[in-house]
């Protein structure tokens, strides 16, 4: 008899990991009856997946408690670990109306009321149970009573609209689990949902989870890795060089590097770094090299901030946009297309390195044994919106085994030498250290994460 799973998809973050990879096919092969409990605008039936639309939205108080929890946790982490860097994870609210100011006052009041470890645990419990009896919760209960899944698995830990359906499942005695979807999420206090089990990338992330949330026990944690990197090991997914070059009208005699754009919050000066890389490539080409840049912007960045330099350096830069669609105003309503898996793997397969500001693309490239260069300087401008050095102070960068995991680009004049090192494959030390970092961050073999997730789901169901 097959077991039935509801994969709770409260936003588009989980589409790439669980709907577009081989994850669902593997589950079906293992006899699972898989239904996506889908609250995104994406219509999963169009890609052959069974879905039930999840209708409803959280109570207005729920979001206030979530915001208060994040504020209180970051303050607590700062005190407990004597680290001011946790304050850098706070985003200043937009106080552009009386209503926004009132909500922020409530958030601040709640954050102070529940300060300290014991009170924080009470606040987390309050947030986990706040939806009970409300309309969204009742609708979730009704759906679960009809469908009777053996387990409810949430594709990420941070959406507030996942609280009601997970609480409903818990109240009906259905095992619940959530996936911690990114390597930097736990220090940022983004764990919003409470479940019976937590699926993490690595032993390192498991220890982080218990460090920040001591009420979670080791037996509740499943170390599985992430399906995020599995497409890099899928034979035949990436386009060959001839097909890829023809598809995007690339020069067959050129070697291309990738500049992967960052979001505007992390790297507000990213367009200036793209310009600097383009200048370095132009200089190298003037001295006899034949190099090009493929620019892949951050999928949630639809700004025009790069346009000036894409035009100015059109001989050096080919812009290939990610295949994502904006289906709402919030960042989590920007959804990937399945075809973006092929596009991203094809870009990596057909470029010799990647340059960016502190991106996890290092792990995508190390899957192909290719190096990454991290921009590590501030642009020479009068008004600096963000100190780029501060990016590398974030907690998740402390997991690296050594500084040699990347080529550090500490000034504009170093860009040319880093590109030449990568082009000439003077990269052995960097590849070895980055591979070690990847193994620490994500359980290996990296292509068996889905297998481990299904094994863990078998155990808890």
- Whether the per-residue pLDDT at 329 is higher than 90: the answer is no
pLDDT-derived band at 334 (thresholds 50, 70, 90) equals: confident
Domain 233-441 part of CATH 3.40.50.2000: yes
| CB-count burial class (<10 Å; 0-12, 13-18, 19+) for 2 | exposed
pLDDT-derived band at 330 (thresholds 50, 70, 90) equals: low
Distances (CA, A) of 383 to 56, 93, 124, 268, 413: 44, 22, 40, 11, 21
- CB of 258 closer than 8 Å to CB of 354: yes
Question: Across all residues in the chain, what is the average pLDDT?
Answer: 95
Give strand pairing partners of 150: none
Single pTM value for the model? 0.95
Kindly report, residue by residue over 22-71, the tens digit of the pLDDT.
999 999 999 999 999 999 988 999 889 999 999 899 999 999 999 999 99
- CB of 10 closer than 8 Å to CB of 162: yes
- For residue 325, the model assigns a pLDDT of 85
Q: Mean pLDDT across the stretch 428-450?
A: 97
- Whether the per-residue pLDDT at 262 is higher than 90: the answer is yes
- For residue 1, the model assigns a pLDDT of 61
- For residue 333, the model assigns a pLDDT of 66
Q: Mean pLDDT across the stretch 109-128?
A: 94
3-state secondary structure labels for all residues of the chain? CCCEEEEEECCCHHHHHHHCCCHHHHHHHCCCEEEEEECCCCCHHHHCCCEEECCCCCCHHHHHHHHHHHHHHHHHHHHHCCCHHHHHHCCCCCCCCHHHHHHHHHHHHHHHHCCCHHHHHHHHHHHHHCCCCCHHHHHHHHHHHHHCCCEEEECCCCCHHHHHHHHHHHHCCCCEEEECCCCCCHHHCCCCCCCCEEEECCHHHHHHHHHHCCCCCHHHEEECCCHHHHHHHCCCCCCCHHHHHHHCCCCCCCEEEEEECCCCCCCCCHHHHHHHHHHHHHHHHHCCCCEEEEEECCCCCCCCCCHHHHHHCCCCEEECCCCEEECCCCHHHEEECCHHHHHHHHHHHCCCCEEECCCCHHHHHHCCCCCEEEECCCCCCCCCCCCHHHHHHCHHHHHCCCHHHCEEECCHHHHHHHHHHHHCCCCHHHHHHHHHHHHHHCCCCHHHHHHHHHHHHHHHC
Write the CATH number of the domain with boundaries 4-58+131-226+446-460: 3.40.50.2000
Kindly report, residue by residue over 193-229, the tens digit of the pLDDT.
999 999 999 999 999 999 999 999 999 999 999 999 9
Q: How far apart are CA 454 and CA 450, in angstroms?
A: 6
Longest alpha-carbon distance in the chain = 70
- Whether the per-residue pLDDT at 75 is higher than 90: the answer is yes
Cβ-count burial 425-436 (b if 16+ within 10 Å, e if not): eebeebbbbbbb
- Whether the per-residue pLDDT at 384 is higher than 60: the answer is yes
* Domain extent listing, the chain: 4-58+131-226+446-460, 60-126, 233-441
- For residue 328, the model assigns a pLDDT of 63
Let me know if the fold of 4-58+131-226+446-460 is the same as that of 233-441. yes
The two beta strands, 324-326 and 197-200, are unpaired
- Whether the per-residue pLDDT at 454 is higher than 70: the answer is yes
- Whether the per-residue pLDDT at 446 is higher than 60: the answer is yes
- Whether the per-residue pLDDT at 332 is higher than 60: the answer is no
- Whether the per-residue pLDDT at 9 is higher than 70: the answer is yes
């Amino acid at each position: 008899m097959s077991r039935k799973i509801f994969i709770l998809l409260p936003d588009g973050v989980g589409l790439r990991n669980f709907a577009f990879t081989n994850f669902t096919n593997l589950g079906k092969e293992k006899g699972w009856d898989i239904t996506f409990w889908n609250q995104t605008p994406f219509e999963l039936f169009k890609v052959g997946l069974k879905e039930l639309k999840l209708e409803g939205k959280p109570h207005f108080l729920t979001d206030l408690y979530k915001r208060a929890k994040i504020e209180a946790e970051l303050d607590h982490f700062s005190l407990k670990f004597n680290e001011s860097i946790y304050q850098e994870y706070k985003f200043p609210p937009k106080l552009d109306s009386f209503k926004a100011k009132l909500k922020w006052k409530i958030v601040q009041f709640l954050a102070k009321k529940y300060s300290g470890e014991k009170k924080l645990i009470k606040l987390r419990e309050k947030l986990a149970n706040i939806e009970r009896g409300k309309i969204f919760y009742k609708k979730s209960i009704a759906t679960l009573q009809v469908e009777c899944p053996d387990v409810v698995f949430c594709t990420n830990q941070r959406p507030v609209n996942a609280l009601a359906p997970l609480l409903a499942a818990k109240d009906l005695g259905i095992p619940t689990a959530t996936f911690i979807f990114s390597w930097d999420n736990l220090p940022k206090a983004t764990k919003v949902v409470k479940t019976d089990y937590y699926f993490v990338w690595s032993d390192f992330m498991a220890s982080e989870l218990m460090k920040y949330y001591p009420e979670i026990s080791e037996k509740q944690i499943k170390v599985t890795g992430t399906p995020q990197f599995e497409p890099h090991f899928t034979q035949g997914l990436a386009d060959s060089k001839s097909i890829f070059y023809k598809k995007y009208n690339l020069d067959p005699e050129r070697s291309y590097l990738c500049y992967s754009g960052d979001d505007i919050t992390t790297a507000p000066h990213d367009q200036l770094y793209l310009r600097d890389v383009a200048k370095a490539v132009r200089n190298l080409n003037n001295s006899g090299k034949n190099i090009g840049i493929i620019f892949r912007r951050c999928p949630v960045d639809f700004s025009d901030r790069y346009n000036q330099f894409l035009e100015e350096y059109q001989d050096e830069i080919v812009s290939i946009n990610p295949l994502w669609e904006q289906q709402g105003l919030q960042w989590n309503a920007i959804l990937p297309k399945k075809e973006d898996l092929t596009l991203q793997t094809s870009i990596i397969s057909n470029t010799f390195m990647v340059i960016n500001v502190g991106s996890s693309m290092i792990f995508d490239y190390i899957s192909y044994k290719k190096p990454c260069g991290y921009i590590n300087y501030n642009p020479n401008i009068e008004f600096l919106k963000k100190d780029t050095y501060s990016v590398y102070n974030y907690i998740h960068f402390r997991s690296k085994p050594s500084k040699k995991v990347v080529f550090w680009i500490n000034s504009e004049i170093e860009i040319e030498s880093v590109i030449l090192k990568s082009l000439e494959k003077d990269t052995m030390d960097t590849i070895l250290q980055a591979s070690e970092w990847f193994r620490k961050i994500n359980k290996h073999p990296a292509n068996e994460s889905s297998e481990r997730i299904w094994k863990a789901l078998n155990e808890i169901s």
